[in-house]
Amino acid sequence: MTSAANDIEFRSVSKRYGAVTAVSDINLAVPRGAFVALLGPSGCGKTTCLRMIGGFEHPSEGEVFVGGSPMNGVPAYRRPVNMVFQQYALFPHFDVENNVAYGLKQLRPRLTAAEISRRVREALEMVRLGGFAKRRIHEMSGGQQQRVALARALVNKPQVLLLDEPLAALDKKLRTAMQFELQSLQRELGITFVLVTHDQEEALSMSDLVCVMNAGRIRQLASPKEIYDHPADLFVADFVGKTNRLPATVDPATGSVTLGNGRTLATARARAMSAGAATVALRPEVIRLARPTAANGALLEGTVTHRIFLGSSAEYSISVPGLGDLLVTAERHGTAESDLVEPGETVAMNFDPGEAHIFPA
């Protein structure tokens, strides 16, 4: 048995397809009622993990638990789980009602027609398609079809809902609207959602827990804030949000990190690292820009090469001798043109050493 507080658990799960290792020794625990996002680049094993929860694939090694019970040998249709597939296949010539009812009609013992119709109505209400029961699929927009697929997965009240890139086909605006809807639906129903996405903004904004994967392995499992503020490694720092990577050297004896431009940061973290080459990861928004003065002894100095105006903020590319090109985002505090640093200008830059993440090179 496993802790009943976990709706999903992977214990040392690997999945191989012939010579390809799709998932490699994954351990994962998802608390009941959580919204977890599996985030990672194409081919990293996200769909494979989802399919092993759903029962459409079986681990080569290890065990998957759902609702506290081991799923070895439990077929997909007996699992308390439903899945919205990456290519959600609706029946184009059926109306909405019949698409949603399809799974319920397969259940044995049979449900009464009244019960099926009641449940379908309820599922359609949940996805705000109450008035669309008789509409045919090919007469609906992409976003509406997406919601029919969702209703079809919700209709038999799964304990766990698996969503494989459910919003990938939608335009930006509809996608944002559906993100809000999915999130409030999950809160209302209180069931566990596992959402697969390769969009880091979507993962950060929607979920309670983000599981960052690469090459079949979990790199970090934590809250969105923790993932963004304290990435476990350089892969996570790069994949989630934007990051500057500065070459540096660590001296644990003095607790200092010397950047490629010769400037030194004192940071307690360096004491716990081994001596030698390292990479300092810095978010673009933690770097403060100033006009250089003889007195300000900046950590970084460089020349602005590009500026992208973004309304309330501006994004700069700044060339720093010894460090390469840095990306810096700066909020604008006023509307004056003088807030903006111009391409060609020399700028001084500082940051709080506590905001720098240091990883072995």
Report, in Å, the least distance between residue 165 CB and ligand ATP: 7
Biggest CA pair distance of the chain: 83
48 touches Mg ion (CB under 5 A): no
In angstroms, the CA 187 to CA 180 distance is 11
Judged by beta carbon, residue 81 or residue 83, the one nearer Mg ion is 83
Residue closest to 196 by CA, chosen among 156, 237, 229, 161: 161
What is the rounded radius of gyration, in angstroms, for the C-alpha atoms of the chain?
Answer: 25
Q: Which is nearer to Mg ion, 158 or 166 (CB)?
A: 166
Which residues of this chain interact with ligand ATP, rule CB under 6 A? 17, 20, 22, 40, 42-48, 198
Rounded to whole angstroms, how far apart are CA atoms 169 and 178?
12
Please give the helix or strand (H or E) that residue 220 lies within, else none.
Answer: strand 217-222
Piece of 46-54, 276-284, 291-299, 309-317 that binds Mg ion (CB under 5 A): 46-54
Q: What is residue 161's three-state secondary structure?
A: strand
CB 48 within 8 A of CB 87: no
CB of 214 to ligand ATP, least distance (A): 10
C-beta of 49 vs 155, nearer to ligand ATP: 49
Minimum CB separation from Mg ion for residue 50, in Å? Answer: 8
Please, which residue, 51 or 119, has the CB nearer to ligand ATP? 51
**Minimum CB distance to ligand ATP smaller for 52 or for 66:** 52
Contact (CB, 8 A) for 15 and 48: yes
324 touches, from ligand ATP, Mg ion, none (C-beta below 5 to 8 Å by class)? none
Q: Name the one range near Mg ion by CB under 5 A: 6-14, 42-50, 168-176, 186-194.
A: 42-50
The H-or-E segment that residue 272 falls in is none
Q: Which does 17 bind (CB under 5 to 8 A by kind): ligand ATP, Mg ion, none?
A: ligand ATP
144 contributes a contact to Mg ion by CB under 5 A: no
* Min separation Cβ 165 and Mg ion, Å: 6
> Which stretch of DSSP H or E encloses residue 203?
helix 200-206
47 binds Mg ion (CB under 5 A): yes
**Is the Cβ of residue 88 or residue 132 nearer to ligand ATP in the bound state?**
88
> Taking the complex as a whole, how short is the minimal distance between the CB of residue 168 and Mg ion, in angstroms?
9
Distance, CA of 232 to CA of 243 (rounded, Å):
13
Amino acid at 34: A
CB neighbourhood size of 182 (10 A): 23
Residues in contact with Mg ion by the rule CB under 5 A: 47
